[in-house]
Structure 1
Amino acid sequence: MVRLIFALLPLFLSEAALSQKKDTADRTGFNVTGIPVLNFNSDEGFGYGARVSFYSYARGGYNPYFYLIDTQISFTTGGKKEVFVFFDSPFLLGEGNRLTGEIRYQDNNLTPFYGLGHESTFIEALTKEEDASFINEDYYRFGRTRITAWLDYQRNLGSFRALAGLGMNHTDVSTLDGTTALQDDNLVSGKEGGFTNYLKFGLVYDTRDFEPAPNRGDWIDLLFEWSNKAIASDYNYRRLTLTQRHYFPLTDNLVLAQRLAFVQSWGDIPFYETAFIASTFRIEEGVGGAKSARGLLKNRYLGAVETFGNLELRWRLTDFRMAGQNLFLALSTFYDFGGAWNNLDDFSLDTLHGGQGGGVHVGWDENFIISIDAAKGEDVGLALYIGIGYLF
């Protein structure tokens, strides 16, 4: 694994040279960085594409930047195509006011679906042509084309930040040839796709000492989403998401990082929306997979009630220089878990599912980090995840 991560260094060196320093308040003007996108995870295969980031520092005095525009186009060997433009500015509307938004197009003709609730099953033999119980190689897959646009506004309120936002999602759902789990499930809502527009309100508490790789502090989000036909949504539902993260330094180079998330939905939420976890920055998919619970299949456990958590020990092994850059090498070990239920009455710790593993991380100038994590879980022999940054 160590050899693999160092083999990737040249691909990211241009980004490392231009990545944001821990203190950028003395920078002025405009900066553009462009890098190839290269990643891998066991759920989607190899990813490749290009990413261009535009940083404005204006007249100086802004940390980490006056605004950021992040653009990317990428493809994976697992059938996913994605284009997005992401915007973030902590100062455009004045100090203490943050504006964040994104426009994204995603087409994935092999999106996973295993059913809803804790009784959903994964029987690998159903996808193996050589097995007597074979049904379809893509039995646990469906097609999903999705366009999203959202905008969040945050304002400082003492030690907290208040958040208000709105979003528009349109999703096309298509079933694949042959019999699939989605076709066999007559109870799920949302097979016809449509709009899921929403209003979002929240409260944020953030005391992290350094966002990309915190050594101490807390980061807690409480978010409420309201989707209704009154705002041109095709569905009426409400969703509450609570995510708690804590970073505790055991020694100068050893950090215990912990995350716990809980999601509850009410109303007519379409099945595909249960895969997306609300956030104050990037919106990712779970429960299970590279962004939520490693060692579990992507989107393996979905439902009206979801939870997942991570306990990770991060050891900063050494600091060194290469090609004129300041780098560090870190190791980690972790345990992730997750579960989903159709209602809160079904919740039980006995129906949680876990994965465990370890990782190697190389960082440049503190905040640009390449991570390789490997995990083993109940449905996964050994899963590999290569990407940018720590999981949380």
Structure 2
Amino acid sequence: MLCFFGLLGGFTPPTLAQKTDTLVIDSLSFIRSKRMSEVDLAKKREGRFTTGLPDLSSDPVTGFGIGIRTNTYWNGTRANPLFAYTPYLVRLRANASYYTTNARELTFSVDVPYYKGSRWRFRVDFKAQQNPSNLYFGSSQSTLGPLRLPSDPNKTFATYAAYDRARSTLRPGQAGEAPFVSDALSNRFRETEFMLNLKADYALGKGKWRVMGGYEIQSLAYKTFQGTETDAIDPVSGAETKAPNGTSLLARDAQQGLIFGLDGGRVSIVQGALIYDTRNFEPDPTRGIYIEVANEFSHRAIGSQFNFDKLFLQGRIYHQLPVGSRTVLAGRIGAGTIFGRQAPFFEYQDQWSPDGSINALGGRQSLRGYRANRFLARSLAFTNVELRVRLADLKVGRQNFGLGVAPFFDAGTVRDRWQDLDFSNIKTSYGAGARVAWNLSTILFFDYGLSKEDRLFYFGIGQIF
């Protein structure tokens, strides 16, 4: 982080606002469309402040998480010409989390929008994480079918609860397995990741358009759990017991040449994006449009061990309704695909966006009524709609809190080829959530999603879009 501040010419956050007042800022014409609403502007704090809170989160896959999340903001003063147009002058984020499934994550990021009143925005992100609870159901559009046992694809299940119990039930071992095994961990795998990402974007014209370039390097390692002792259920007595885990579905697909990349390795990526953005307040907009075309290119020529290219298109819209003090209809639609005959399986699992990558398809960022990665293939399309209703605003000391609710609807599908994406075999989920806005910029969410397969609860930090 110190190197990054040095790169910006000895930048010192606390004095940035004073320096900005003396700059020629293109008459602010390139960001005038981003002016905050008068209601939100009245609540925006001046100066530097930190929002630090225990990171209590819950996800059906990674489990219950504890940790700490901190955001330090430098907002400047109301006399600063940028004050009404930017979410902050600088944000420094530091997070650390540990989950009951033994997953852990450490992240640091620095974000400097409109650096010194210019058209440039700089971002640096670092992440170190290990997650032993990743799910894998397959890597083709066949995952759109019902849940199936890895050891017996002819057995299908209507609900995840029934599927989960069947996986844990003892069965006779097959070739290369112990005499009796459980499949409780057969669709799970562990991922260990170290990642550094550098990005810069430049505002064009009146500031609604931006071009972005970036570079990311990752070190990845994977482990499956065949042979590991795990929970099991005696099929006769129903008693809980222990048994070796059977063959991993991910390892089996790798042996059959259906997926690549199980050995992990180094991933070197050049990123680029074209962005149209008129949101008036990025962390929690009340109006505006966000459209992007984002691309990631990985090749041995730039030091990667994998060759692939990922394309993602996304559009979001926010519209404040004339109901209550702050009622916002928010919608998103996205579509993406990955090119490369031997593209690694782990790149199927998320869509890269300059505004924050999206794990797909399933989980809290896409289909909240389904488990993460429930539907996986080379290409996908999805949509989310939320009605964000502010119920009350509270002020406690110098802290501002907004309390609201957000009913939502999600839909999406996957295909083996992008040319086959259409409106058939669409998976849907729906539900409702609560929202707590802390000093405008920090959003706490509590979401309960329902689908034909599952009922899932999530809570954590940040709007999903």
Q: Give the TM interval when normalised to the shorter protein.
A: 0.7 to 0.9
**Identity of paired residues, percent?**
28
More displaced 10-residue stretch of structure 1: 125-134 or 165-174: 125-134
* Correspondence for 2:294: 223
1:50 aligns with one of 68, 71, 74: 68
Rg larger for: 2
> Deviation of residue 87 (structure 1)?
1.2
Q: For the residues of structure 2 that align with 1:144 and 1:42, how far apart are their CA atoms?
A: 17
1:181 aligns with one of 209, 225, 249: 249
In the alignment, residue 49 of structure 1 is paired with which amino acid? G
* Correspondence for 1:122: 147
* Correspondence for 2:113: 90
Q: For the residues of structure 2 that align with 1:156 and 1:269, how far apart are their CA atoms?
A: 33
> Deviation of residue 247 (structure 1)?
1.2
* Cα 1:348–1:284 shift into 2, 3 Å: closer
DSSP-derived class of the 2:55 partner: strand
* Correspondence for 1:207: 278
* Correspondence for 2:265: 194
TM-score for the superposition, normalised by structure 2? 0.74
Q: For the residues of structure 1 that align with 2:104 and 2:41, how far apart are their CA atoms?
A: 33
Query: Paired residues, what number?
Result: 370
* Correspondence for 2:463: 390
Is the 1:308–1:336 contact (alpha carbons within 8 Å) kept by the matching residues of 2?
yes
Is the 2:164–2:184 contact (alpha carbons within 8 Å) kept by the matching residues of 1?
no
Deviation per CA, 1:329-377, whole angstroms, max 9, x where unpaired?
A: 2122111122222212443422221111111222233333322111111
Q: How does 1:1-392 map to 2 (within 5 A)?
A: 22=41, 27-28=46-47, 30-56=48-74, 61=80, 62=82, 63-92=86-115, 95-120=118-143, 122-123=147-148, 124=163, 128-130=167-169, 135-158=182-205, 159-177=208-226, 178-185=246-253, 186=256, 187-253=258-324, 254-267=327-340, 268-322=342-396, 325-380=399-454, 382-392=455-465
Deviation per CA, 1:259-288, whole angstroms, max 9, x where unpaired?
A: 011111110321011112211133342211
More displaced 10-residue stretch of structure 1: 315-324 or 358-367: 315-324
Is the 1:169–1:195 contact (alpha carbons within 8 Å) kept by the matching residues of 2?
yes
Is the 2:61–2:134 contact (alpha carbons within 8 Å) kept by the matching residues of 1?
no
> Deviation of residue 319 (structure 1)?
3.0
Is the 2:87–2:283 contact (alpha carbons within 8 Å) kept by the matching residues of 1?
no
TM-score for the superposition, normalised by structure 1? 0.87
RMSD between aligned residues: 2.5
Q: For the residues of structure 2 that align with 1:26 and 1:351, how far apart are their CA atoms?
A: 47
Is the 1:125–1:131 contact (alpha carbons within 8 Å) kept by the matching residues of 2?
no
- Determine which structure has the larger strand proportion and give its number: 1
Is the 2:380–2:421 contact (alpha carbons within 8 Å) kept by the matching residues of 1?
no
Structure 2 alignment gaps of length 5 or more:
1-39, 149-162, 173-180, 227-245
Is the 1:127–1:135 contact (alpha carbons within 8 Å) kept by the matching residues of 2?
no
Is the 1:301–1:338 contact (alpha carbons within 8 Å) kept by the matching residues of 2?
no
Q: For the residues of structure 2 that align with 1:259 and 1:368, how far apart are their CA atoms?
A: 21
* Cα 1:127–1:44 shift into 2, 3 Å: farther
More displaced 10-residue stretch of structure 1: 142-151 or 33-42: 33-42
More displaced 10-residue stretch of structure 1: 109-118 or 227-236: 109-118
In the alignment, residue 164 of structure 1 is paired with which amino acid? G
* Cα 1:52–1:321 shift into 2, 3 Å: closer
DSSP-derived class of the 2:401 partner: strand
Q: For the residues of structure 1 that align with 2:390 and 2:75, how far apart are their CA atoms?
A: 31
Q: For the residues of structure 2 that align with 1:22 and 1:103, how far apart are their CA atoms?
A: 31
Is the 1:67–1:91 contact (alpha carbons within 8 Å) kept by the matching residues of 2?
no
In the alignment, residue 386 of structure 1 is paired with which amino acid? F
Is the 2:44–2:440 contact (alpha carbons within 8 Å) kept by the matching residues of 1?
no
